[in-house]
Amino acid sequence: MVIVGALLVFSPQTLIDNISLGVAPTWTDFLVAIPLGMIAYTGIETASAVRSLGPPTTMSFRLEIGHYVAEQYRDALALAFDDARAEAQVLAERAGARLGAVLSIEETTQTEPVPQASASAPAGVGAPAPIAPPVQPGESRLDASVVVVFELVG
């Protein structure tokens, strides 16, 4: 269709006769048209590249172990407190004192970052390779740390 239109309507002589740089189009119009043309070209190329990727895909993954982990974490915190008390008791005895009341407790647990899936550009022609979920088989580790300040009684 474009070829038929070009053959029937396109006239190189008419194109040449209607261009007189600086007059028609004016220099201002010419300088505005160049970046507009570049933007239009970039938009067309971007749309073409996106379309060549194929249909969009959605990946969803949900892992719910919140209640179980919360219970295990509370147990780990209790053990961390017991360890802190036992170590403080050894040090207090070495200093000739005994432990008094707890003055402060600070939870200092640090969490590890959760791995995130990242998309990469497809290699070659066709649809991009599917992205694997950021979950690996194996064991999970749960750490709990506390800083406990005890009163020393002489």
pLDDT value at residue 69 = 73
Distance between CA atoms of 135 and 68, rounded to whole angstroms?
18
- Does the pTM surpass 0.75? The reply is no
pLDDT value at residue 116 = 46
Using alpha carbons, select from 152, 146, 150 the residue that is nearest to residue 74.
Answer: 146
The domain locations on the chain are: 22-54, 76-110+142-154
What are the tokens at 151?
């009163």
Residue 30 · residue 21 · CB < 8 Å? yes
pLDDT value at residue 117 = 46
Residue 139 · residue 71 · CB < 8 Å? no
Average pLDDT over residues 16-21: 76
- Tens of pLDDT, residue by residue over 101-141, are 999 999 876 655 444 444 444 445 555 555 665 666 666 67
